[in-house]
């Protein structure tokens, strides 16, 4: 029944995420065609700042909410969600104000790109609304409303952003239309997500029997792990912004977006896998727990392999869709796809560790990978530009996936990785 549910709901989730990825491509296409690689490079730098601040603002609550509400008997405790949601939104507002106050340092001292300054305001305005959206999405994920969880992540974000962009470009001709459209898209999404969250909980209440400060403390290691992963995923763009031109940053990020298509199967599987793993682990149903991991890992590997191979074959054509200048990112796209194949072998390492309460171990593993990533980026980007960034990303992501899989196998007897020769639960 679990595998059937993962296949049916996972396919539905995957369809929504593919639609969302297409909308992200449409957004990228409109921006690059209307304003070129340089403006898209500035937008990518803003996205790096935006996502880093947002992950801090969530305080790890998005993961912990899934764990807490995975049990059916927790749903009467509505007040816990509303209290931690309010704390997280208030903290996100503080971070947004702080980032805007430091904008001169970011623009002039770090990136040395004065043309970035007008983009910062619209970036920081979106932070608390995105935080709210993802906390609401996590609540729906725990309730197994996976289609809405899928949509409220990037699909909804870019669907509304594209709509906003089409409206704005007909009103005024300004490169800021792209970052403004992103803000308006998230604003609309935040209202939609909060509506579905309140409908799921049926009523608004701030009364809870749970100590919300203790809940925040337990969420903290998850925040650190999530923060490290965001920095790990965006440090290449950040460091590229320091050493390279806006145009090269834009080319690199288009290649990243195309390569991201290979990871959507894992995201689809993890959306249903996370609450199931938490439930089976809490109920000590270890045979079902391991069987679920074994089957989903094999499924993810074969689909990722097929998608990555297809992208590698068609890489020049896919890049040329966004403009002839983006074909320069061919080597970057190929190396990123090869890295995703390696990651797919390791399985859902991060989700498994977090759902069984090993978030501190997970945090330490990704922290080491982040340090490796930063060192490699600093060494390779000045020499090889975007290709050096791609190598750094692949090596660091592969290192934490492999390290996590080794820990699960040797310390806990859980085989998360795929082996066609010997794949026993």
Q: Tell which residue, 303, 286, 240, 366, has the closest CA to residue 10.
A: 303
Strand ranges in 322-381 using DSSP code E only, listed in sequence order = none
| pLDDT in 10s for each residue of the chain, 425 residues | 455 555 555 556 566 666 767 788 889 889 998 888 889 899 999 998 898 888 887 777 777 777 666 665 666 666 677 888 888 889 899 999 999 999 999 888 888 888 999 999 999 999 999 998 888 888 777 676 666 666 777 677 888 999 999 999 989 888 999 999 999 999 999 998 888 878 777 776 666 677 777 777 777 766 676 677 777 778 888 898 898 888 898 899 889 888 887 876 666 666 666 666 766 666 667 777 777 777 777 777 888 888 889 999 999 999 998 888 888 889 999 999 988 888 888 877 877 887 777 777 887 888 888 899 999 999 999 999 889 999 998 998 888 888 888 888 887 777 777 776 654 44
Cα–Cα distance measured from residue 17 to residue 416, given in angstroms and rounded to the nearest whole number: 24
Phi-psi region of 385 (alpha: psi -120 to 50; beta: other; left: phi over 0): left
List the chain domain ranges: 2-412
How many CB atoms are located within 10 Å of the residue 32 CB?
24
Q: Measure the CA–CA gap between 216 and 232, rounded to whole angstroms.
A: 23
Cα–Cα distance list, 300 to 98, 151, 293, 297, 344 (Å):
40, 21, 11, 5, 7
Report whether 304 contacts 339 (CB < 8 A).
Answer: no
Spatial CA neighbour of 103 closest among 118, 89, 84, 90: 118
Burial code (b: 16+ CB inside 10 Å, e: under 16) for 252-272 equals bbbbbbbbbbbbbbbbbbbbb
CB 96 within 8 A of CB 125: yes
| Residues 387 and 340 sit within 8 Å (Cβ to Cβ) | no
The pLDDT score that the predictor gives to residue 121 is 94
For 311, residues 6+ apart whose C-beta sits below 8 A from its C-beta are 258, 259, 261, 262, 318, 333, 337
- Token pair 């927790």: residue: 74
**pLDDT for the residue 425:** 43
Its pTM stands at 0.75
What are the respective helix, strand and coil percentages of the chain, to the nearest 5?
Answer: 85, 0, 15
Note whether 408 and 352 are within 8 A (CB). Answer: yes
Q: CB–CB of 392/237 below 8 Å?
A: no
Is residue 226 within 8 Å of 362, Cβ to Cβ? no
The label of the residue with tokens 């998850």 reads 222
Selection from 54, 40, 81 nearest residue 202 by Cα: 81
**Residue 11 CA neighbour count, 13 Å, CB half:** 5
- By the 8 A CB rule, do 147 and 12 touch? yes
């Amino acid at each position: 029944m679990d595998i059937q549910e993962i296949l049916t709901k996972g396919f539905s989730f995957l369809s929504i995420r593919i639609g969302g990825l297409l909308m992200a491509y449409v957004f990228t296409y409109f921006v690059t065609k209307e304003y070129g690689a340089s403006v898209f490079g500035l937008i990518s730098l803003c996205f790096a700042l935006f996502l880093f601040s947002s992950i801090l603002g969530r305080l790890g609550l998005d993961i912990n909410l899934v764990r807490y509400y995975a049990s059916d008997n927790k749903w009467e405790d509505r007040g816990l969600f509303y209290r931690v949601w309010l704390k997280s939104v208030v903290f996100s507002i503080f971070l947004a104000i702080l980032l805007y106050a430091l904008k001169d340092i970011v623009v002039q001292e770090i990136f040395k790109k004065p043309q970035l300054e007008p983009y910062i305001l619209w970036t920081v305005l979106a932070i608390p609304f995105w935080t709210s959206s993802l906390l609401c999405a996590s609540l729906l994920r725990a309730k197994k409303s996976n289609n809405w969880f899928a949509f409220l992540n990037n699909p909804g974000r870019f669907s509304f952003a594209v709509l906003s962009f089409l409206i704005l470009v007909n009103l005024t001709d300004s490169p800021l239309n792209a970052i403004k459209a992103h803000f308006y898209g998230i604003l609309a999404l935040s209202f939609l997500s909060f509506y579905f969250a309140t409908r799921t909980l049926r009523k608004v209440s701030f009364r809870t029997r749970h100590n919300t400060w203790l809940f925040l403390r337990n969420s903290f290691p998850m925040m650190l792990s999530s923060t490290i992963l965001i920095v790990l995923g965006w440090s290449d763009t950040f460091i590229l912004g320091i050493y390279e031109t806006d145009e090269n940053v834009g080319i690199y990020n288009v290649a990243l977006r195309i390569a991201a298509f290979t990871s959507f199967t894992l995201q689809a599987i993890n959306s249903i896998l996370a609450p199931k793993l938490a439930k089976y682990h809490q109920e000590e149903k270890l045979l079902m727990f391991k069987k679920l991991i074994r089957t989903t890992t094999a499924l993810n590997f074969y689909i990722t392999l097929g998608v990555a191979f297809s992208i590698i074959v068609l890489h020049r054509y896919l890049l040329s869709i966004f403009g002839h200048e983006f074909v320069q990112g061919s080597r970057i796209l190929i190396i990123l796809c090869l890295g995703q194949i390696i990651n797919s072998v390791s399985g859902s390492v991060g989700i498994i560790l977090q759902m069984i309460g090993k978030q501190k171990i997970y945090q330490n593993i990704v922290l080491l990978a982040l340090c490796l990533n930063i060192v490699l980026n600093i060494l390779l980007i000045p020499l090889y530009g975007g290709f050096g960034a791609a190598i750094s990303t692949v090596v660091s992501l592969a290192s934490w996936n492999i390290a996590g899989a080794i820990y699960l196998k040797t310390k806990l007897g859980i085989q998360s990785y795929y082996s066609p020769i010997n794949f026993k639960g």
